[in-house]
Amino acid sequence: MNDRPPYEVLEDTSTLAQRAGDRVALTGKISDLPWQHLIDDVPSHPHADYFDVGRDQIVIYSREPIGETRAIRVEGTVRRVEGRSKGPSERRHTEHHLVVDGWTLAE
């Protein structure tokens, strides 16, 4: 018996900030044009990819390289990542990434 909640399918990334720790599914593509993002150390998921979801981009972490250029659906857990700005400011920057449990080709 599986006590874990199912993945909630999200249409976009607009609510990720309110979902840290939640299990979600997103559809998009591995990007060929990475934006600047924070990168976290996730030892269990050492492969980081930039993932385009509509007009947004997030970072996803996987156990093995994904290597797929077509649209995919990723399922995983939202992870809050915080770091300092690259500039002289002491302001903290927060992003929300996805630690991927699995993926399939999008329908």
pLDDT at 87: 65
Closest CA to 101 of 33, 2, 1: 2
**21 — alpha (psi -120 to 50), left (phi > 0) or beta?**
left
CATH code: domain 8-105 is 2.40.50.200
Give the residue-averaged pLDDT of 10-30: 96
What type of residue is 20?
Answer: A
Q: Strand 72-84 and strand 23-30: pairing?
A: antiparallel
Q: Which of 13-17, 32-36, 66-70, 75-79 has the lowest mean pLDDT?
A: 32-36
The pTM for the full model equals 0.89
